[in-house]
């Protein structure tokens, strides 16, 4: 950072790089994001989602693994599944045990080629665990390893300038991934007798 008369100045900032938004910008882009999410979610094969949900409901332990923003979405999904009383672990956490036969690995990668996620799926497969995957690419290595695949027809993060989405990088995939995992949670809960008050008892009290 450069200094000028006691003021810290960002050397990369220029007058032409000023970014601001008007109310019209916000309204337009709220509509853009909302409409893209709705249109993409409507194109998901409901049978694929139902199949993945059955894998979740039939498993003993569930492990989730994802990178970047997709990984954050799966962490949120793990929290909701925990609220249902399921045994859920996040890959990479210090207390996460070894995956084994009978377990389920839930993964997400827009491209289906994210190295760490594919490696996790390969490890799970070797251990005899089942794999459920979200991806945009049904022909990807990740999809090939999975027992259940949900294809989200969104742009991959490297598809710059694509007509699939006007949003940056993999935003649409991550947004619809969140919607899909919330729909799965809601469906599992709909078929569960537990009231919301019982789920709340499992909510973290150490924060």
Whole-angstrom Cα distance, residue 81 to residue 31?
A: 30
Return the number of other C-beta atoms located less than 10 Å from residue 122's C-beta. 14
* Active-site residue (options: 46, 174, 198, 207): 174
Cα angle value 116/117/121 (rounded, 5°): 115
Residue 104 half-sphere exposure toward CB, CA atoms < 13 A: 22
Q: Is 197 a catalytic residue?
A: no
Can you give the chain as a three-state secondary structure string? CEEECCEEECCCCCHHHCCCCCHHHHHHHHHHHHHHHHHHHHCCCHHHHHHHHHHHHHCCEEEEEECHHHHHHHHHHHHHHHHCCCEEEECCCCCCCCCCCCCEEEEECCCCCCHHHHHHHHHHHHHCCEEEEEECCCCCHHHHHCCEEEECCCCCCCCCCCCCCCCCCCHHHHHHHHHHHHHHHHHHHHCCCCCHHHHHCCCCCCC
Q: Which residues are catalytic?
A: 174
């Amino acid at each position: 950072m450069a200094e000028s008369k006691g003021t810290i100045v960002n050397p990369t900032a220029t007058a032409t790089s000023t970014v601001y938004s008007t109310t019209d910008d916000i309204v337009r882009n709220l509509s853009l994001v909302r409409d893209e999410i709705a249109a993409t979610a409507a194109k998901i094969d409901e049978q694929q989602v139902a199949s993945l949900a059955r894998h979740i409901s039939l498993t003993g332990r569930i492990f989730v693994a994802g990178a970047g923003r997709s990984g954050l979405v799966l962490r949120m999904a793990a929290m909701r599944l925990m609220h249902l009383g399921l045994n859920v672990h996040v890959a990479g956490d210090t207390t996460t045990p070894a995956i084994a036969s009978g377990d389920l690995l839930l993964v997400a990668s827009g491209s289906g080629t994210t190295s760490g996620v594919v490696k996790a799926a390969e490890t799970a497969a070797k251990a005899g665990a089942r794999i459920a995957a979200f991806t945009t690419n049904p022909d990807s290595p990740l999809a090939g390893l999975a027992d259940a695949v949900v294809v989200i027809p969104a742009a991959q993060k490297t598809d710059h300038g694509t007509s699939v989405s006007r949003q940056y990088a993999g935003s649409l995939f991550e947004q619809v991934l969140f919607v899909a995992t919330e729909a799965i949670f809601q469906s599992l809960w709909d078929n569960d007798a537990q009231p919301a008050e019982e789920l709340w008892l499992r909510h973290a009290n150490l924060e």
